[in-house]
Amino acid sequence: MMLTAQPRSTALSSEIQHVLTVRAPEIITGGRRKFMSKRSILQVKAVIQSGNNKKTANTVEKSAEESKMVSSGKSGNLDVRAVITLRKKMKEKITDKIEDQWESLMNGIGRGILIQLISEDIDPVTKSGKIAESYVRGWLSKPSDHPYIVEYAADFRVPRDFGRPGAIIITNFLDKEIHLVQIVVHNFNEGPIFFSANTWIHSRKDNPESRIIFQNQAYLPSETPPGIKDLRREDLLIIRGTGKGERKLHERIYDYDVYNELGNPDKSEDLARPLIGGKERPYPRRCRTGRSPTKTDPLAESRIEKPHPVYVPRDETFEEIKQNTFSAGRLKALLHNLVPLIAATLSSSDIPFTNFSDIDKLYNDGFELNDDEHSQKNKFLSDTLDKVFSVSKRLLKYEIPAIIKRDRFAWLRDNEFARQALAGVNPVNIELLREFPIVSKLDPAVYGPPDSAITRDLIEQELNGLTVEEAIEDKRLFILDYHDMLLPFIGKMNSLPGRKAYASRTLLFHTSRGILKPIIVELSLPPTPSSPRNKRIFTHGHDSTSHWIWNLAKAHVCSNDAGIHQLVNHWLRTHACMEPYIIATHRHLSSMHPIYKLLHPHMRYTLEINALARQSLINGGGVIEACFSPGRYSMEISSAAYKSMWRFDMEALPSDLIRRGMAVEDPSMPLEVKLVIEDYPYAADGLLIWSAIKEYVESYVEHYYSEPNSVTSDVELQGWWNEIKNKGHPDKKDEPWWPKLVTKEDLSGILTIMIWIASGQHAAINFGQYPFGGYVPNRPTLMRKLIPREDDPSYENFILHPEFTFLASLPTQLQATKVMAVQDTLSTHSADEEYLHQVHELQRFSLNDHEVLKISERFCAKLEEIEHTINQRNKDNRLKNRSGAGIPPYELLLPTSGPGVTCRGIPNSISI
């Protein structure tokens, strides 16, 4: 029967308001995702056994009506109403609008969406949860305060002893998928019962299985109400899939695979790439897509090239506002690439920067073709450019990067070079020098004598009277060491056109005035018969020639730093390593599991951005290969780093700082660690964020795991951790350093690492990419020339034109603009970003637990205090690495941010 629409409850309005304000400041985004699978209850199987035909629908409706009539003749019944909130597309095509009308018609006659309430109580006859079902009805959707939100109702008559609904099974008989925001069930004694969803519900024509949504209540597996136990188990089984077949875009199956789709051997032999993941090239696993193998290589998976989407489970995809933000970035990248590409075509080569004014034009003028050049081109190209220019010339200009906005010459100074090792976009590679002489761990039979060319005499010339031993004992010497990581690849890298690189070591000295400065750079090439110690030493000089040579040496170090940052610290240690945690969480932790609810905000959009990276950034011929020194060997270097240095337990910030010698254990300090360099902005602010996350997680875990053996008896949790090791990181599954999962302390430690990686760690090394890397000389991503020697033919030209030699060694204009466009996109916060300080709001609509809400409130209050502390630190003129003339404040670990390139803000998840 149809009932007239009734006013929404205050609670329902609050939920919608949350979606409109917290989740997207201006427009609805619906990014939260709860994952539901097929039902297992015998009573409802008839609904899903055949196609969406009239006979089946009529049978189901008749059965539902008869059930109501029978129950109404007994002792008493309840009339309950489920209010269903759907989100419409923001941008609708004509076909979408027609489908909307069809949706309204089908719902009006009760043929569109079937809702089934499943009780937490057992039906004594069926031995499973009691069930009540009804179609969504109403000729018109209920008016909403927002144009993208529509509401429908489904009415039920249930026995008074039905019990509390614990799950809802929803079947979509419409011809298109729908986005379900939430369902609220009214008129039970407990008051409104919320089923938060924010998920896509596939059409039954795509998949006959229905979807399960559990109410906003967290249950450990052993505490699951008996009526929904089977649904909990079946939900996880369908999410895991069978490991077979190609995944369809509407599916929500999570499984593992190796990186076997980075190359495209069918397109070109030059685009073939080795498999990443396995004994030879170990790596974390990615989300399986199941595409067919290539014709050329049966071990390689065929590629889906842009603009076609790569499969990720349906609710992992970007919502519309995120798509719009990312598409705008891609458009900007297209424009930035298009114009220099045309310029390169006109000159028959990709041209270098010839003077610093060429770089300044990127920000002041942008790229424009002259009118006479327009007239010489074909009409299609001219028309295309005319459209581009008529849309917005601003798109052809870059914003001035933060690193030169206050002081355009800061990048030239040694103290700024060193400062960025502590407060730049890659502050995680600097280490304390603890032993001398410096010795390589590489095989001397292959890579030459292991001793560094950095001698005691060279160092002590820079130590203001200290000996090397005294400086080491006083913890005053530091090193950026990319020697062993890069030297095995340098020969292959330098064989690539337009690439010339060294393996580098950089020694830095912390002065008595608290200033860090670089003192020696060692650049190494693979040994040759004539030069078994193929190493060069550079120090900052006092004459013009040595000054320019020193700047070239620093540029090579920056190029190495940029490559290791992108391929190891950014991609591998955050994006790639987070992916198996997310897959395992969905496969083993029910959406009712408290740990799932804790981790859920920290998994948003990561699989999608990783899939896009595999498609366009780290793939064969992609932006990283085209614009960074390692070229086609990029992912092999990333794999080698994973093999030699990645450890889960060392991803904890305090452990990493101690491992690098940047902190020492100190029981008197809050986290029992003390920084070796107090003015280390990344570490100082990071420890504040780490401590807040740790406290939050420990309180949360204590709330759910207060009973003895509750961690070891949690079958879902144990399966989750075992799979992370054995399937997510199988190439390292036997390492002894994996934490045990026995106590609540073990669990808290594991979860703190994961949440830190997804939030603070990623923010610190991602959102400064354009502010620091947008000025090419400050952070070149590759070098195209070796440093000239006195006996080189090019040396005379260097003496005559040192500026040109320097600029000609940097990336070309096309390479630079490609990288800048990508860095600009990766540094941009979307308008629907969800930040760490919003955890309380997110938990409030996924958990019905007042104690957890108090815990999250305390966490958010702590983050507000931290933000104040960081702002105060940035005003402290004693902290030279974050304040001073021309020095940008260190804000990368400030919790809050607005949209855009802000160089601040900690999102909950790796969302870009």
Residues catalogued as catalytic: 570, 575, 762, 766, 912
Nearest by Cα to 839 from 910, 911, 755: 755
**Can you say how many angstroms the Cα of residue 291 is from the centroid of all Cα atoms in its chain?**
24
Per the CB < 8 A criterion, the answer to whether 629 and 783 are in contact is yes
Provide the 3-class DSSP secondary structure of residue 266: coil
464 CB burial (10 A radius; 0-12, 13-18, 19+): exposed
Distance CA 817, CA 820 (A): 5
Per the CB < 8 A criterion, the answer to whether 721 and 741 are in contact is yes
Q: How many C-beta atoms lie closer than 10 Å to residue 400's C-beta?
A: 17
The token pair that represents 875 in the structure block:
């005003």
User: Which residue spans within 682-823 are E strands per DSSP?
Assistant: none
DSSP state of 213: E
The token pair that represents 413 in the structure block:
């100074």
B/e letters for 707-730, b = 16+ CB within 10 Å, e = fewer, are eeebbeebebbebbbebbbebbbb
Q: How many helices (H) and strands (E) does the chain have?
A: 31, 20
- Helices 681-704, 850-873: crossing angle, 10 deg rounding: 170
Residue type, 60: V
Long-range contacts of 237-243 (CB under 8 A, 24+ apart): 237/37, 238/37, 238/38, 238/209, 239/35, 239/37, 239/586, 239/587, 240/587, 243/288
Q: Return the half-sphere exposure (C-beta side, CA atoms, 13 A cut-off) of residue 874.
A: 19
Provide the 3-class DSSP secondary structure of residue 56: helix
The token pair that represents 485 in the structure block:
């990581």
DSSP state of 108: H
The token pair that represents 65 in the structure block:
């009506």
DSSP string, 875-898: T-TT-TTT-STTPPP--TT-S---
Residue for token digits 């855009």?
900
26 CB burial (10 A radius; 0-12, 13-18, 19+): exposed
Cα dihedral sign for 697, 700, 704, 706? positive
The token pair that represents 42 in the structure block:
């015998």
Q: Which residues are within 8 A (CB) of 738 and not within 5 positions of it... i.e. 6 or more apart?
A: 648, 649, 725
Q: Give the β-pairing of 516-524 and 503-510.
A: antiparallel
Residue type, 467: T
Distance CA 908, CA 912 (A): 11
Strand order across the beta sheet in which 178-186 lies: 137-142, 149-159, 77-87, 178-186, 193-201
The token pair that represents 132 in the structure block:
């009540």
For the CA atoms of 876, 880, 882, 885, the dihedral, rounded to the nearest 10 degrees, stands at: 90
Provide the 3-class DSSP secondary structure of residue 572: helix
The token pair that represents 95 in the structure block:
């076909």
**Can you say how many angstroms the Cα of residue 225 is from the centroid of all Cα atoms in its chain?**
35
Distance CA 34, CA 214 (A): 9
Q: How many C-beta atoms lie closer than 10 Å to residue 744's C-beta?
A: 17
**Can you say how many angstroms the Cα of residue 542 is from the centroid of all Cα atoms in its chain?**
45
